[in-house]
Structure 1
């Protein structure tokens, strides 16, 4: 059974990640943990015992607030909640606390909402982009405007450098019973590779059905624009990408152009794995 750590700060935007995770759980039986990171200040005059008792009281209150918030989202979706827990952690460092908690408790994925349309920092927010750039645990970034629907298709954008990555894509897709599509954009100086040859190579790594699409990349546009056009046509449920987490995933993905269309990242959840 997969374990998903879902972050929330009680904002309306954070409900997107919660709704997506609930949908995943309803299709796959995944166990959900809803986490909020809060800071309980300590007056300098307090003893350790006094502060510890106060911290416990405050965290219990916050945990109940998380529970009520989660129940309200389940109720709004008319879903019966199953197999979830709520956690509140005291720390002034949100990003590292989320990553540490996910790693320490062997979560399979971290699910977090993005902030909305705009430039990268505004779109993802510091916490989401930091998690994607640094977390050893795969991160699912869910757009704040995400509309819940049955998950039917997982689109894997691949550079073909490591075809064994498909195993991790399938590991996500199989419990959901979704289809998997591998998408590769060929470069002008790249040897022509037939999609059937790639499909045969993929079968060496998985017995799960994978459809392969090879498209020529339009070099006048950023990679995101090429992905955008394909997504607009196919409308996958989830986009999967892998990153080396060097120099920042978003800097490399979006390059330096300000005219890139980010619209697919405001509609399609993005699952990012760290490259081996």
Structure 2
């Protein structure tokens, strides 16, 4: 077992002891605007401050919450809400970014739902839109994998789970997400570059987590909330308060959507 896997196993054991739940089925990473979904998914069994679990810290970005929550759905599934997301721009360490996903896998999760707030390169898919991730571009120059670890990323985002999501909302557009390092927002030229490369969503999270999830054998569903048009697309300057405000405005609608999707997963 690798050092990272051993550390994740230790964290999963601490999580089980803290929550009283020895096995979880689904993990959720709730990005900007998505946090309210946890209250709709099931009964809260336990809520644990992130710093009590090895490898997790209390320092988070505005719009995120440094807690790990264990929920139980009406049909008895255990859902782990990873509210202590580490962004690459906080740590410059892909292994730390991946630790939450690896802990979820060690805790028994077979499915990861990863969400984010992001910019859109398509004016017709503007703020408030939810986009179903179909693929991604990892433009961070980093990976959570070590050594000769060859992970197939052909279907990084599960077609089966995408079909379930579209059964709840057939109008969901698909998208390709490009992760930049951050924390600065992308320049208009960088947004244009991402568009030329095939992306239509830009942000600062998700791809490193998905790589780790696929290494661990988790089935992945990705959902993006468009919080702004990318630099040079909408003609306005960008700021983090705009991201937060868009998340607040969309929260009730997207939380209900995500809760319905989780309920439909079997």
Give the structure-2-normalised TM-score: 0.31
Alignment TM-score, normalising by the size of structure 1 = 0.31
Higher relative contact order (Cα pairs below 8 Å, separated by 6+ residues): 2
Q: Which has the larger radius of gyration?
A: 1
